[in-house]
Amino acid sequence: MANPVTIGSNCIAQVGSQFFLIAEIEAKTTGVEIDPLFAIRTTAEQARRLIRAGVMRCKIQNTVPRPTRGKDVELKGVLFANGRIFSVFDVENSTDEAVLVRINVAQAQRLISMGVRIIKVIRRPFN
């Protein structure tokens, strides 16, 4: 029997001089589908080591990813990180990746008022 809890999309985002591990926790079993996304502050050294170990860098862009045949796009939430704001999408095709899209305060407020979650940021790096 497969483990019902796994890590989905994950990547390292550099926002200014700060680094964040973006990770989606997926819990799926009969009648349950929970898949929140978190941002965990890391040190620059931790980020470098994770990237060397195979964790991808997050895509940061100005446009919303579009779904196509075989590619699903799901808005996961709004991320406030190091004075910048992003809408974060889970993009699934043959891979599962997080895509950060730069937005402004007005766009963030509109999304949040529509019920989009604010992504939890664990701000103090683990040692």
Q: What is the pLDDT of residues 31-69, one digit of tens each?
A: 999 999 999 999 999 999 999 999 999 999 999 999 999
Pairs from 88-97 (Cβ < 8 Å, separation ≥ 24): 88/22, 88/37, 88/119, 89/64, 89/65, 90/8, 90/9, 90/24, 90/35, 90/37, 91/9, 91/65, 92/9, 96/8, 96/9, 96/24, 97/9, 97/11, 97/56, 97/58, 97/59
- Is the confidence at residue 113, as pLDDT, over 90? yes
pLDDT at 82: 94
pLDDT at 126: 82
For the chain, the structural domain boundaries read 5-122
Q: What is the pTM of this model?
A: 0.91
Q: What percent of the chain has pLDDT over 90?
A: 88
